[in-house]
């Protein structure tokens, strides 16, 4: 994993894509020893047009201008200690942003950027920041409710990298970062999860979110085909 950036550095990435009228997402690549690893940033627009940035990625100027036209960057969510690569440069670009990090990862994240809080009140009852149960408050997720359905934004607790190919893909699969279906990556089970049963309960609770439409993950494809069933299957895998 590269060291946290201190200057605006743009790695390969795609275009900002609308998930619904108030959500955008974009994926890019991180160079890793075993090959590039896809990563995702999610942008949620609140009722007052402020933006929640979940797992920030530095984008080229055209895409950044598009994001700024979408709303005002206000909350920078660093969802765990491994997702701090672009945190400082985003804070430098938008000094008024509030940096939010999980309590259990605060000391690690503060090696890259000063953390303002470990909880967030977005002033919007439809957007909730959650410290994932069973992770020692080291992992965040977002619940986003809309009239036409809910979106769950996860970080590393679930991976859905399915298109890994070549030698790099073989390594990703060997290390448990890639697979043929949504899964809890093997390194996450060993490093991030402290209580498997608590994480399983959390996954089952999310499966009951009213009108759940999709699950976004930081590494891999959006889960839109039976997201409830996928979450229940993930919970069962932790038994």
- Residue 2 forms part of a structural domain: no
Q: Give the tens place of pLDDT for each residue, 113-150.
A: 999 999 999 999 999 999 999 999 999 999 999 998 99
pLDDT tens for 185-226 read 888 888 899 999 999 999 999 999 989 999 999 998 899 999
Strand arrangement of the beta sheet that strand 127-131 belongs to: 127-131, 140-146, 149-153, 212-216
- Whether 178 has a pLDDT exceeding 70, the answer reads no
What's the pLDDT score for residue 239? 78
pLDDT tier for residue 174 given thresholds of 50, 70 and 90: low
- The answer to whether residue 11 is domain-embedded is no
* Two tokens, residue 230: 């996928």
| pTM of the predicted model as reported, rounded to 2 decimal places | 0.93
Mean of pLDDT over the chain: 91
Expressed as residue numbers, the domain containing 143 is 17-237
Whether residue 147 is contained in a domain is answered as yes
Question: What is the model's pLDDT at position 35?
Answer: 63
Share of the chain above pLDDT 90, in %: 77
- What is the tally of structural domains in the chain? 1
Q: Render pLDDT for 30-40 as a digit per residue (tens, 0 to 9).
A: 876 666 788 99
User: Given this model, what pLDDT does residue 197 score?
Assistant: 97
CATH number, domain of 21, equals 3.60.15.10
């Amino acid at each position: 994993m590269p060291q946290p950036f201190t200057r605006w550095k743009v790695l390969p990435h795609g275009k900002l894509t609308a998930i619904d009228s108030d959500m955008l997402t974009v994926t890019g690549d991180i160079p890793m020893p075993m090959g590039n690893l896809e990563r995702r940033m999610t942008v949620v627009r609140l009722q007052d047009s402020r933006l929640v940035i979940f797992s920030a990625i530095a984008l080229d100027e055209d895409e950044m201008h598009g994001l700024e036209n979408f709303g005002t960057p206000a909350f920078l969510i660093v969802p765990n200690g491994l997702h701090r690569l672009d945190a400082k440069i985003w804070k430098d670009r938008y000094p008024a942003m509030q940096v939010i990090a999980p309590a259990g990862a605060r000391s690690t994240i503060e090696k890259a950027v000063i953390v303002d809080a470990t909880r967030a009140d977005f002033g919007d009852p439809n957007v909730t920041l959650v410290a994932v149960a069973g992770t020692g408050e080291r992992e965040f997720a977002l619940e986003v409710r809309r009239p036409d359905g809910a979106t769950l934004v996860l970080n590393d607790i679930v991976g859905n990298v399915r298109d890994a190919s070549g030698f790099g893909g073989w390594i990703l699969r060997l290390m448990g970062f890639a697979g043929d279906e949504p899964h809890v990556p093997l390194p996450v089970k060993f490093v991030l999860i402290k209580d498997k049963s608590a994480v399983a309960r959390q996954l089952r609770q999310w499966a009951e979110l009213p009108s759940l439409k999709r699950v976004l993950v930081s590494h891999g494809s959006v889960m839109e085909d039976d997201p409830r069933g996928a979450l229940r299957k993930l919970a069962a895998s932790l038994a």
